[in-house]
Amino acid sequence: MKKTITIIGLILTFLIIYFLQANFFSWFTIAGVKPNLFIILVLFISLFVGMKYGIVFGLIFGLFLDIVIGKTIEINTIMLTVVAILGGYFEKNFSKDSKITIMLMVIGSTFIFEIGSYVFSIIMLNTNIEILSFIRIILIEVLYNAILTVILYPFIQIIGYKIEDIYKGQKILTRYF
Amino acid sequence: MYNKKKKQIVGIVISVIILIVIVIMSNIKIDNLSYVQSFANFFVMPVQNGLTYLKNWISGNNQFFTDVSKLREENENLKQENSKLEQDLREFEIIKSENETLKEYVNLKDKYTEYTTIPAYVINKDISNYNSCIVINVGSNDGIKAGMAVISDKGLVGQIISVTSNTAKVQTIVDTSSSISCTLTASRDTIIARGTLEANNRLTATYIPTEASIIEGDTIETSGLGGVYPKGVIVGTVTKVVNTKNIVDRYAHIKTAVDFSKIETVLVITQ
């Protein structure tokens, strides 16, 4: 029951983020650059719920974004799945208790997501290559995501550990004792 | 424990403030100094008001405050009148906005009479920093097909790339993977205008013929080559010509005629 409620909660969070990205963040930008909260959400799922769930949610969310507003049904689907896999790797190798670590995870994931998305769009959509503009956008986006992580960190921590309890239960304890 | 929580809250508040400041600073124009003026006024005006009151009081001009009950009554009446006026103003704004939308439709229809068109509303915009697609509220049920050109009252918007029964996805001309064949209205030279990552209301003109004369202020329109966009639709105006060592590589910046951040209504050319 608790697991079902959590899944519904995560889907609702995704929808809220979608509407925020499409409306609020279309004008609340840093020098015209929007943040990408989907990366933070998928990373959060992968870290606290589990990599398998992260991959499934990443695939579904990415597919939804590609269908609704994307030009091809690959870029977001593949890259959000990659973020989920990265989340699984981070979960195994780093602690989630530190704000700095979570921030670095978000920064790393944002870099990989955006570079991957851009390379994909160059290959598949014949996008013009503009390295300097791309670097400017990616740096601002990384900064924006990092600031949002600092703001959201207490919620990520509280909700994250509650969800982790539901999904991983005692598993977490065996790792430390 | 309490201190830690307090620190966390302070941290969040500071981060939110920093974010808001960064967003505001990065989006205001330097020449727009009215914000600075308001900010200065915020500090200066209370002191200034206080000093004026003191001056009036000393010179015996403080009789405003003698009849307090009368003032209160008058204030109440004014408040009521104000709320009624505010309500009227709101109604007026709604009517005005409806009128503007209808006018936009009529203007659009009149301007492009030679084409068969279907009006549509923009219902969704892209969430990514690299692409620039919009979704409109007409689809295959209205006769919309992929490849149709989309225009607005100001000029060219883009082309339909995919259709569902009730919606259609439009790749705008400022999208980074869009390139259109255009003509300089004055000299009739043909150029290619491409979307750029640098700004969402700018195109880059490339493949400018070596003998072509292109200057700031030149109007650019579609050439009709390629079969997607009809001939003669306004694309934008040249804002800067960048000359390189090799004249073949020179390029120009084009400011789009359409403001893509404010676009609300469009026309799909069906024939």
Tell me the ipTM for this assembly. Answer: 0.76
| Of the partner residues A32, A141, A148, the one whose CB lies closest to the CB of residue B200 | A32
Which residue positions in chain B have pLDDT lower than 70?
Answer: 1-2, 26-41, 43-45, 52, 55-56, 58-68, 104-113
CATH of domain A2-176: 1.10.1760
Task: Give the CATH number for residue B221.
Answer: 2.40.10.350
A-interface mutation test, from B127, B176, B177, most A Cβ less than 10 A away: B127
Instruction: Give the pLDDT band (50/70/90) at residue A56.
Output: very high
- What's the whole-model pTM score? 0.71
CA distance A1 to chain B (A): 31
pLDDT cut 70: percent of chain A above it? 95
pLDDT for A3 equals: 83
Give me the total of CB pairs closer than 8 Å, taking one residue from chain A and one from chain B.
Answer: 96
Token pair belonging to B262: 């404010």
Q: Which residues of A25-54 are buried (b: 16+ CB within 10 A; e: fewer)?
A: beebbbebbbbbbbbbbbbbbbbbbbbebb
CB proximity B198 to A under 8 Å: yes
The whole domain housing B230 covers 179-258
Q: Is residue B163 a part of any domain in this protein? A: no
B120 φ, ψ (degrees, to nearest 5): -150, 155
Q: Is A45:A53 a contact under the CB 8 Å cutoff?
A: yes
Q: Which residues of A touch B (CB under 8 A)?
A: 18, 21-22, 25-34, 36, 65, 68-71, 114, 117-118, 121, 125-128, 130, 133-134, 137, 141, 144, 147-148, 150-151, 154
Q: Is residue B193 a part of any domain in this protein? A: yes
B147: left (phi over 0), alpha (psi -120 to 50) or beta: left
C-alpha distances in Å from residue A75, one per residue of A120, A124, A138, B129, B170: 6, 9, 16, 13, 18
Q: Is residue B225 a part of any domain in this protein? A: yes
pLDDT for A95 equals: 80
CB proximity B215 to A under 8 Å: no
Q: Is residue B92 a part of any domain in this protein? A: no
Instruction: Give the pLDDT band (50/70/90) at residue A177.
Output: very low
- The tally of domains found in chain B comes to 1
Question: Does pLDDT of A160 surpass 80?
Answer: yes
Tell me if B131 and A30 make a contact (CB, 8 A cut-off). no
- Please state, rounded to an integer, the average pLDDT across all residues of chain A: 86
